Structure 1
Amino acid sequence: MSKTLATKGPVSERMGSIRRVLWIVLFLNLGVAAAKYFYGVASGSASMQADGIHSVFDSAGNVVGLVGIALAARPADEGHPYGHAKFETYASLVIGVLLLLAAFEVGSSAVGKLASGVYTAEVTPVSFVVMAGTLAVNLGVTTYERRCAKRLKSEVLGADANHTLSDALVSIGVIIGLVAVALGFPMADPVMALVVTVAILATAYDVFKHALATLSDRARIPEEDVRAAAVAVPGVRDAHRIRTRGTEGEVYADLHVLVDPSMTVGEAHALADEVEDAVRARFPNVADTLVHIEPDDGHTE
């Protein structure tokens, strides 16, 4: 006995909302990347160029997210009876790989400058204007995307929000490096680029950790919370063997409920429907609930 969300409705609306957020963030990231990278090239700042490259990978991550959401939004079919929601998780993994590539690009450039001893950064008031402006945009994007990720329970938006937050932290590091260069410490520019590299690697780790939680079928809802929803239904004496898995936005649950042994098949079926509705009412991100009816005759495992 199970109840599944229709393809059209909450699921499709959620995917559409995620898609809109990704488009908005994509255009903002492209603007930020262009401002930082091209002024970094013009001023010879390695850390500003590194920060610009990081923002480019933010944009690439948005594109990956859009592709992943397009695939995840497809309805269940014969080959994928549980739907395609995990494509959103796969998109998060690709974003993690892009972060690793960005870390390599930024780190190798910084090491090259430190090894050669050639420091070319020129600091002007415009440098600080560019970095402060792009930092404000990044912080705004991060706040907006993180709120949407929590509301929509989206792994892609969560990964991308962390990515953008790391970009903001990197920008703060770049500003510190530019101040040091202006005070007569030119080596600070590539050193801060290395700090950028560490920040990107830390972000990549966080993205992989969340994606692997889904792919390893980690429990998504505490067992006691699901049990509380089930036993609140009149006629349910207890519930056990409770399991949940899936993405944060599309959870699959199954549980066994104990009922009066004298209950008819029709009554048991109706009760199972009530349990499914109760679980869905308490946890709107549950896409499918499978309820197994057991007689409460003292012979349960």
Structure 2
Amino acid sequence: MKYVKKRMKAELGAWVSIASYIILAVVKLIIGYIAHSDGVTADGWNNLSDIIASIAILIGIKIAQKPRDHNHPYGHSRAENISSLIAAFMMMSIGIDVVSEGASSLIHHDRSQMPKLLAAWVGMFSAAVMLSVYWFNKRLAQHVNSQALAAAAKDHLSDALVSIGTAIGIVGAQFHLFWIDPLVAFLIGIMICKTAWDIFMETSHMLTDGFDEQALTTYKQQISTIEGVRRVADVKARMVGNQVILDVTIHVDPNLTVVKSHEIADEVERMMKEQHDIETTHVHIEPDTIP
């Protein structure tokens, strides 16, 4: 029940992202056209790609709420990771298109059409909105322990910085530095591609059972302090959605009863749950035969 409630809160963060991006994308694409600003237009396409990514994340979060079944013994949590992977491909496609358009505008820019200052105000307004959404989703991601929502929050911060850069480019054009606005459009495309690549790499790392080595070292050190544990032979972990699945092999006194050995295993599980919020820890016990 607690897990389902967390997923529902994560959904709220995705809906906030989608609503914000829809409004900003429409405003930027319209104002970018009216104000003759390549930077604002590119930023609008950036937000459009974020809408697609946020919808993909929302779908993944919804699927991840499905309970375990006969052929998904660990549940459907990794649907969240798959949706992030799909979103990365979508963002990369749009990013490449924006880079191409920005480069073309930079080379063949029409200097007779100076971007209007209105576009700069739109950029600053967008930055303020994105910073607010960033703080909201960052705190929510920490509360519900959602990797997808945390990645979305990072993208919000990136969007805010892009909007600030867009505004700077437009102001620069007012001083007849016409190359700044299309240059910003080009750089925005690069940032879209970089964000897509970062999401792809992080998600691929998780889907191939990559895990933080430092965290494993911490787990091993803490487990070794438990009374009755003579040696920690192995600690492995993997991410299933936003949950950690931990496998531990410990060595204990070979003369212990089964009941006492089981109590030690229970203590390992309790420590991992209390200190690291790990719900699933599999403990394998071996007799310590080393003198």
TM-score (norm 1): 0.89
Distance, in Å, in 2 between the alignment partners of 1:177 and 1:139 is 20
- Provide, for residues 23-48 of structure 1, a one-character-per-residue CA deviation record: whole Å limited to 9, x for no partner: 12211221122221111111221111
| DSSP-derived class of the 2:279 partner | strand
Matched, 1:174 2:166: yes
Q: Percentage identity across aligned positions?
A: 29
Q: Which residue of 2 aligns with 1:289?
A: 281
* Conservation of the 8 A alpha-carbon contact between 1:155 and 1:211: no
Matched, 1:114 2:106: yes
Q: 1:139 to 1:79 in 2, by over 3 A?
A: same
* Conservation of the 8 A alpha-carbon contact between 1:36 and 1:130: yes
Matched, 1:135 2:152: no
Distance, in Å, in 2 between the alignment partners of 1:247 and 1:149 is 16
Matched, 1:226 2:223: no
Q: 1:112 to 1:125 in 2, by over 3 A?
A: closer
Distance, in Å, in 2 between the alignment partners of 1:246 and 1:117 is 48
Q: Which residue of 2 aligns with 1:80?
A: 72
Q: Which residue of 2 aligns with 1:158?
A: 150
Q: Which residue of 2 aligns with 1:279?
A: 272
Q: Which residue of 2 aligns with 1:257?
A: 250
- Provide, for residues 64-83 of structure 1, a one-character-per-residue CA deviation record: whole Å limited to 9, x for no partner: 11100011121222211122
Distance, in Å, in 2 between the alignment partners of 1:248 and 1:234 is 32
Relative to structure 2, which stretch is displaced further, 151-160 or 169-178? 151-160
**Cα shift at 1:155:** 2.0
Distance, in Å, in 2 between the alignment partners of 1:204 and 1:218 is 19
**Cα shift at 1:158:** 2.1
* Conservation of the 8 A alpha-carbon contact between 1:93 and 1:207: yes
Q: Which amino acid aligns with 2:133?
A: V
Q: Which amino acid aligns with 1:118?
A: D
* Conservation of the 8 A alpha-carbon contact between 2:120 and 2:168: no
Q: 1:21 to 1:121 in 2, by over 3 A?
A: farther
Q: 1:281 to 1:298 in 2, by over 3 A?
A: same
Q: Which runs of 4+ in 1 moved over 6 A?
A: none
Match of 1:58 among 26, 30, 50: 50
Q: Which residue of 2 aligns with 1:3?
A: none
| DSSP-derived class of the 1:79 partner | coil
**Cα shift at 1:115:** 4.3
* Conservation of the 8 A alpha-carbon contact between 1:45 and 1:120: no
**Cα shift at 1:144:** 2.2
Count how many residue pairs are aligned between Structure 1 and Structure 2: 290
- Provide, for residues 2-30 of structure 1, a one-character-per-residue CA deviation record: whole Å limited to 9, x for no partner: xxxxxx22x22221121111112211221
Distance, in Å, in 2 between the alignment partners of 1:61 and 1:75 is 24
**Cα shift at 1:119:** 4.8
Q: Which residue of 2 aligns with 1:240?
A: 233
Question: In angstroms, what is the RMSD of aligned CA positions?
Answer: 2.0
Q: 1:298 to 1:175 in 2, by over 3 A?
A: same
Distance, in Å, in 1 between the alignment partners of 2:276 and 2:137 is 22
* Conservation of the 8 A alpha-carbon contact between 2:109 and 2:182: no
Q: Which amino acid aligns with 1:133?
A: F
Distance, in Å, in 2 between the alignment partners of 1:174 and 1:224 is 44
**Cα shift at 1:214:** 0.5
- Provide, for residues 171-216 of structure 1, a one-character-per-residue CA deviation record: whole Å limited to 9, x for no partner: 1221122112211133322221111112212212221221122012
